[in-house]
């Protein structure tokens, strides 16, 4: 397939708004400089997230019409269950309305107060669910992730040396589980290798610790394995995905990503006893075990999407798009994290805006500038999202990196749309040295990335 040729054709269109710069300035101020508070009608190109923002296929839309809305035992659930069970190999399949609901069910039933979950990187909602269950999230990203410019192929890996030291030390008995996020969103959408997953599996077996997967982007991780890991070039993404799941004790997925649908999640488990208590919590919080907060038509669309998502042509197009987009943004003067993955391109806002401290939220400030410039909405993966309170009462501990994420909704935007974003980035990069920072105005709302009201501030303020 030629590079950057979409392996689909457009069957339905939706108009997008173009606001004047004054209108964008007013909209941003009215939203408290929080891009999550903007109205969608005020956004020209929406790269805020790839979660639930994709375009469904004709087969998925057709599947909606066959949805069985029976409260219990509907045929749509049984089709969904069969597709997920064949993919993952897990016997217990519990649908949820989205991924964070699955996280909440698992952590609230499996964590005891004071226990640790160890990850290559918890995303912010994952960490929040651990904390809400009185646990403590511990991030151990691999050493390759620290160099944002290197072409190391698997920067999503975990630091296994640090993991062994933790498990062998005094805090080892507190570790309730190891969580591997594939791909690693907090570390720039970077993949995890199969050899590394097997090593983590062996470590977990030695210390009798369960291994869970946050597998929301499992297909993209599998595709990148086929492109980057020796010995996997002749494997299909589907085969790699199946091998991935069979290394774990359970997984959750936000199916708003690689389920190719607009709503849905799943918790899939191996152990009968764990599944039993999770099912009880599911019924109390989401719905009966054969719908889990979803309509039958949603289950049908998800089952179809999970079959489509491992198509090599689709995944190749997605990876090529991210690579091209990253290259063009770099040419426009924006420092891009290397190598690009599939679901987003990440800009090193800390490097672009060195005059701003982490507590002036440079990654968020850059996102605001892109909106001012051209109505492009994106999100920060920096101190606003991943800063942590200082246990001694000092200023919040900053995140380890200040990244601005331009997420790519699946099957939505064409090359010309992304060229428009590149032009916006060129204008922002030219004025980067004088750009203002951001600070939280008034009482901080939790989680701040979603709810805080912010205001511009000058460097050094």
Q: Give average pLDDT by consecutive 10-residue segment, the chain, 461 residues.
A: 81 96 97 96 98 97 98 98 98 98 98 98 93 96 96 98 98 98 95 98 98 98 98 98 98 98 98 98 98 98 98 97 98 98 97 94 96 97 82 76 97 96 98 89 68 83 62
**What is the model's pLDDT at position 86?**
98
Domains of the chain, start order: 21-50+311-457 (3.90.1150.10), 58-308 (3.40.640.10)
Q: What is the pLDDT of residue 394?
A: 67
Q: How far is CA 220 from CA 2, 60, 167, 312, in A?
A: 19, 20, 30, 10
pLDDT at 441: 81
Give me the helices (H) in 255-311, please: 272-285, 296-308
Q: Which of 328, 448, 318 is nearest to 380 (CA)?
A: 448
pLDDT of residue 2: 64
Question: What's the pLDDT score for residue 402?
Answer: 95
**pLDDT computed for residue 4 by the predictor:** 76
What pLDDT, on a 0 to 100 scale, did the predictor assign at position 388? 73
Question: What residues does 191 pair with on adjacent strands?
Answer: none
Question: What local confidence, expressed as pLDDT, does residue 386 receive?
Answer: 81
pLDDT at residue 312, rounded to an integer:
97
How many angstroms separate the CA atoms of 191 and 154, rounded? 5
- In this predicted structure, what is the pLDDT of residue 366? 97
Nearest to 93 by CA among 244, 252, 207, 214: 252
Backbone φ, ψ for residue 352 (5° rounding): -70, -35
Residue 114's CB is within 10 A of a number of other CB atoms, namely 10
Cβ neighbourhood burial of 84 (10 Å; 0-12, 13-18, 19+) = buried
At residue 353, the pLDDT reads 96
Compute how many other C-beta atoms are within 10 angstroms of the C-beta atom of residue 403. Answer: 28
pTM confidence score: 0.95
Do the Cβ atoms of 313 and 220 come closer than 8 Å? no
Longest pairwise C-alpha distance within the chain: 61
Return d(Cα 87, Cα 309) in angstroms, integer.
12
pLDDT value for 69? 98
């Amino acid at each position: 397939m030629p590079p950057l040729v979409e392996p689909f054709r457009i069957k339905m269109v939706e108009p997008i708004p173009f606001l004047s710069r004054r209108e964008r300035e007013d909209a941003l101020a009215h939203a408290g400089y929080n891009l999550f508070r903007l109205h969608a009608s005020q956004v020209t190109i929406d790269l805020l997230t790839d979660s639930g923002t994709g375009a469904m296929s004709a087969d998925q839309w057709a599947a909606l019409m066959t949805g069985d809305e029976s409260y219990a035992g509907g045929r749509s659930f049984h089709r969904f269950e069969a597709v997920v069970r064949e993919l993952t190999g897990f016997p217990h399949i519990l649908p949820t309305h989205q991924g964070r609901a699955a996280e909440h069910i698992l952590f609230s039933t499996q964590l005891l107060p004071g226990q640790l979950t160890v990850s290559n990187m918890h995303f912010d909602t994952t960490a929040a669910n651990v904390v809400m269950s009185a646990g403590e999230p511990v991030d151990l990203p691999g050493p390759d992730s620290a160099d944002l410019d290197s072409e190391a192929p698997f920067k999503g890996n975990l630091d296994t040396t640090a993991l062994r030291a933790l498990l062998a030390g005094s805090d080892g008995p507190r570790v309730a589980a190891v969580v591997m996020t594939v791909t690693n969103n907090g570390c720039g959408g970077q993949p995890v290798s199969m050899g590394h997953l097997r090593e983590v599996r062996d470590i977990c077996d030695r210390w009798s610790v369960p291994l869970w997967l946050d597998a929301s982007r499992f297909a993209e991780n599998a595709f990148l394995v086929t492109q980057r890991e020796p010995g996997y070039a002749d494997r299909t993404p589907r085969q790699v995905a199946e091998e991935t799941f069979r290394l774990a004790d359970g997984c959750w997925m936000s199916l708003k990503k690689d389920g190719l649908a607009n709503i849905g999640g799943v918790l899939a488990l191996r152990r009968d006893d764990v599944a039993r208590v999770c099912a009880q919590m599911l019924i109390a919080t989401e719905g009966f075990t054969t719908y889990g907060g979803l309509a039958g038509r949603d289950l049908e669309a998800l089952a179809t999407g999970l079959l489509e998502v491992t198509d090599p042509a689709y995944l190749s197009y997605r990876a090529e798009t991210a690579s091209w987009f990253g290259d063009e943004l770099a040419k426009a003067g924006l420092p891009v994290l290397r190598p690009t993955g599939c679901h987003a391109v990440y800009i090193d806002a800390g490097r672009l805006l060195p005059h701003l401290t982490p507590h002036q939220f440079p990654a968020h400030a850059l996102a605001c500038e892109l909106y001012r410039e051209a109505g492009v909405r994106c999100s920060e993966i920096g101190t606003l999202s991943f800063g942590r309170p200082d246990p001694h009462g000092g200023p919040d501990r900053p995140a380890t990196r200040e990244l601005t994420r331009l997420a790519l909704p699946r099957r939505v935007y064409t090359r010309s749309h992304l060229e428009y974003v590149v032009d916006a980035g060129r204008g922002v990069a030219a004025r980067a040295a004088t750009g203002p920072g951001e600070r939280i105005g008034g009482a901080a709302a939790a989680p701040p990335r979603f709810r805080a009201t912010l205001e511009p501030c000058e460097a050094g303020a």
